[in-house]
Structure 1
Amino acid sequence: MAAGSAATLLAAVACAVLVLLAPAVSGDAATLESVPDLVKAMYVNIESFPCVRLLNLSGEIGCSNPGHGLVIAPIVRFKNSDDQLAQPSAVLLPLDQMPAFFLRVSNDPELYHKVAGVLVESNGDKLLELSPDRKFPQEDFAPYSNVSHDWNPSGSGIMWNRYDFPVFLLSEESTQTLRKIADKNEKSSNGYQANVAEFDLVMQTTKAETNGSESCLKEQSCLPLGGQSVWASLPPMSNASAEHQKPIIMVVASQDSASFFRDRSLGADSPISGLIALLTAVDALSHLHDLGKLKKQLVFAAFDGEAWGYLGSRKFLQELDEGDDSVNGINSSMIEQVLEIGSVGKGISQGDTLFYAHASRNSSISKKILDGLQSGSDSLGSDNVKVKPAASSNPGVPPSSLMSFMRKNTSTSGVVLEDFDSQFSNRFYHSHLDSPGKLTVHRCAHLSHQR
């Protein structure tokens, strides 16, 4: 099932970070026998990961150069997010200062115009939280009115702003290199002006001179997000008419994440832990016989582009309405229940593996799903896996693909299985720090056994 969409797009970027070293005049100059030798002596390639420009029908977010030319500026290291800049500079920024700095830049025009670019250090081992998404991610798609709930208390929202300067995340090795260069600049700042910018930074990205996705697609200067959603059924479905079909239980998960730095969107907990659990369950069920005797038809789907406006799930529903060949065999009127597996990599409490079931509405169907999950957890015995209903004080289901189904049909019965109750347990939601090292794989396996 192709679930691409032109609603949100990724601007094409070609990125490079170079450090320009002011060449010293010495006897070594005689060894420079060609222009490539000179370039090699003057520039050092810096390994980095870009913040890119994203576009939709109404505007832009993300990062890009203000024009087509190179950005050249001296490197200045910020010790604190409230440091000042005396001249246009490339800011070397500690990772723990990132949210405060970008929030400040967005509200301080004078500082904004002095930022030629930002290099974010990679050292994040000691950080307790970092989430560039909003406190209520994708609140515009919520099927309920209370969007003031902080599902993501660590969220700063900085990834949804527009920055007309390049931003890169440095590798650990590059971080050390740039620190030394910035320190040398700082020490030489009291000398003659000719020596102040002894090291300069060159950062280059392409900029599409467009105001939205429609024009950049015509100019072929951007690429669409999403487009790789997939679905399958157990047992395989026929093209029978609706009256001869079984009620459908859809089991879904997201397959992509987001980040301030697109090439570092790992999403180990959100959402990959849920995708792993879904795939493990599908594999286990595929080895069972007599699935055709089940009273319900199982359909599994992994949606792509969910981090950007639920592109995959909304496109899936659109294709169902249009009777597209990509969803041939599925009748939307037969979808009885949606079970979504969300973030499940941190489900632990006082030694037990604990998950929460967030129901879309109090229906007998949702109750049956919850009862089934609880029965499955009890069957594991010594593994101490528990499933509890989410708090009734929650405004509704958390940010999830289920929201797309509920906005399409408010009477949709669905359950989202998560490792949190009222707030995300993942303090690095949609951050490059949402990495596998912060998860315990056996929790995903425990969950899949309950399917």
Structure 2
Amino acid sequence: MITISVFTDSQTSGILLEDFDTSFINKVYHTNINSSSIVAAASLVARTLYILASDNKDFSASALSAIYVNVSLVEELLGCLLACEPGLSCGLVKHYVSPVNTCPSHYVGVIVGEPSSTPYPAYVGDVPRFVWNFLADKTSLPSKNASSACPHNCSNTGEICIRVEADGKGVCVVSTTRYVPAYSTRLNFESETWKVLPQNTSDPMGLMDPVWSESNWNSIQLRVYSVQNATYDHLILLLGILVTVLAYLAIVMVRTFISKALKRD
């Protein structure tokens, strides 16, 4: 795990690249993620898309201000997806899926099985399953057959089944949201079956596979230099001046003593 830490002292310019094998503790980690910043960014993007998609270029302030982001929903999503408390046990997640774990995993996996428009849930993590159901619901239109239960009766064009994990029945909605897994390029369709090609012996690290994303770096070495404060530097300067003056006086005294000794001889 690689993290970048920014020094909290404003007088220190720079960042520190850190490497941890298992875990780490940093009191300022994740402090840059807050709901107000996300809400402001989301509102800006939404209003920009509205302006770009509209033929009318004369926009009033009231029309743009009517486009706003649900702050409470953003805060709830942050608690569900970025922390273990409440984590995936929150009500919002359980409304769509039945999570296996409480702590959300942010690892992006790679599916090497047979491609399918409806992937087997065991091959898909809790977070991707929730995000897919959530986006499909928020961007959907009601199905013409409101009483239809899925997955068997979602037969109309553009219909997909969501929330099937939550109640065992699900609901059919019209949405363009699709789950597109990342398949390895070593997956090959041959003789009416999907096969994973053997790994190339000349490429033991799998660098030729664009989907390969595991961190396998060499050991990172870091050299740290300590910088003294101004008081210490001033003290060293004064001591240097004092040593120089004492050395000069010692040289003068020695020369005087030698001159007197030579005159006596």
Q: What interval of TM-score do these two structures reach, taking the shorter chain for normalisation?
A: under 0.3
- Which structure has greater strand proportion? 1
Q: Who wins on radius of gyration, i.e. which is larger?
A: 2
Calculate the TM-score normalised by the size of structure 1: 0.16
Calculate the TM-score normalised by the size of structure 2: 0.24
Structure number with higher relative contact order (C-alpha < 8 Å, ≥ 6 residues apart) = 1
